[in-house]
Structure 1
Amino acid sequence: MRKDLIALSDDSKVWVYQADKTVDDDTEQRIKEDLHDFSMNWLSHGTPVDCYVNLFHKRFLVFVADDTNHVSGCSIDSSVHFIKALEQKYGLNFFDRLTFAYVKDDEFRFIHNSNLNPAYKSGQITDDTRMVNNLVKSKEEFLSSWIIPLKESWYKKLIR
């Protein structure tokens, strides 16, 4: 059952999926309608999942689920199947984990893993560059640490 983000507990589970391209306004609206429909029917062992789902910045799918009633593996699988259907419907890829997002000049920018070190060495990306951490696991972590400086993120381990 769809809830407001604020209504869910801080330890609610979070999954973030980054699209391979930014969608236009019309596609954004249609995806948000699909997300609403999914959230109203998302079940775990026949029980509605208290959840919040949204598309942020026309690129990031965010699923937040209250785990009080234990979100089951089957319900997680159903969300992945739903995302795969969105990919097909809109010509997107939400499962490319080798492209990283960061914020520069108040805009989201994207860089492939193989270009991260050269970008760091050239100064395009610095320790203070705000990186998007799509590996956040809880609502609290999403709200506090979804976008953090490179020096405080797991990305720093990739810099050589």
Structure 2
Amino acid sequence: MFVNFDTISDDAKVWIYPSSRKFYNSEIDEITEKVKSFVENWKAENPDFKASYKILHNRFIILTADDVATPLNNKDIDASVSFILELQETYKIELLDKMNVCFKQGEYVQYKDLKDFKKLLKNKALTGKTIIFDNLLTTKQDFENFWEIPIEESWYSRFLKK
């Protein structure tokens, strides 16, 4: 059952999918509708299942599911990955590449592969104060508290020159 994102338990699972490009304004409504439809129908046979989503910065799709009362199985996870793969194909974007880094530069969100990110740090184009998005978080509580943090406070800090 689709519920408001804020009502999902802090222990709920979260999946963060960063897009390789910003969603075009002409795509936002359609992507939002597709994501909402997926969430509404995900495990629809179980009325106790609660799930939600957010689309942030016109670049990130965040899915969350409270899997305490109704645990997710491999079929449920496969359904979500298949859905994300469909979005990738439809919109010609990358959403599953975990070897990329998203960070803020001014008001813009940048998406770089890890190699280019390391070069930016080495060349001091980014600092430890630069806000980074940790897209590897797995719970809603971590998402809400540690998704947008300075590089120096994230696991990416290992790439900063000491």
Q: Name the TM-score class by shorter chain.
A: over 0.9
The answer on whether the counterparts of 2:122 and 2:160 sit within 8 Å (CA) in structure 1 is no
The answer on whether the counterparts of 1:54 and 1:61 sit within 8 Å (CA) in structure 2 is yes
1:136 corresponds in structure 2 to 137
The farther-off stretch of 67-76 and 132-141 is: 67-76
Shift of 1:106: 2.4
The farther-off stretch of 97-106 and 58-67 is: 97-106
Shift of 1:37: 0.8
- Using the alignment, how far apart are the partners of 1:159 and 1:74 within structure 2? 40
1:82 corresponds in structure 2 to 83
The answer on whether the counterparts of 2:128 and 2:160 sit within 8 Å (CA) in structure 1 is no
Shift of 1:159: 4.1
Shift of 1:67: 1.2
The answer on whether the counterparts of 1:13 and 1:137 sit within 8 Å (CA) in structure 2 is yes
Structure 1 unaligned segments of length 5 or more: list them. Answer: none
1:53 corresponds in structure 2 to 53
The answer on whether the counterparts of 1:116 and 1:159 sit within 8 Å (CA) in structure 2 is no
- Using the alignment, how far apart are the partners of 1:111 and 1:53 within structure 2? 24
Aligned residue identity for 1:151: E
Q: Return the TM-score normalized by structure 2.
A: 0.91
1:73-119 superposed Cα distances (whole Å, 9 cap, x missing partner): 21011000011111112211111222211012122112221122221
1:36-51 to 2 correspondence within 5 Å?
36-43=36-43, 46-48=45-47, 49-51=49-51
- Using the alignment, how far apart are the partners of 1:122 and 1:56 within structure 2? 29
1:76-155 to 2 correspondence within 5 Å?
76-155=77-156
- Using the alignment, how far apart are the partners of 2:152 and 2:34 within structure 1? 36
Task: Kindly indicate whether residue 16 of structure 2 is the aligned counterpart of residue 2 of structure 1.
Answer: no
- Using the alignment, how far apart are the partners of 1:20 and 1:141 within structure 2? 23
1:26 corresponds in structure 2 to 26
How well do the aligned residues superpose, as a CA RMSD in angstroms?
1.5
Structure 2 unaligned segments of length 5 or more: list them. Answer: none
Shift of 1:138: 0.7
Q: Return the TM-score normalized by structure 1.
A: 0.92
Q: Does the residue aligned with 1:85 lie in a helix, a strand or coil?
A: helix
Runs of 4+ in 1 over 3 A off after TM superposition: none
**Between the two proteins, what is the percent identity of the paired residues?**
27
1:118-146 superposed Cα distances (whole Å, 9 cap, x missing partner): 21122211111111000111111111111
Aligned length: 159
- Using the alignment, how far apart are the partners of 1:27 and 1:75 within structure 2? 26
- Using the alignment, how far apart are the partners of 1:151 and 1:90 within structure 2? 34
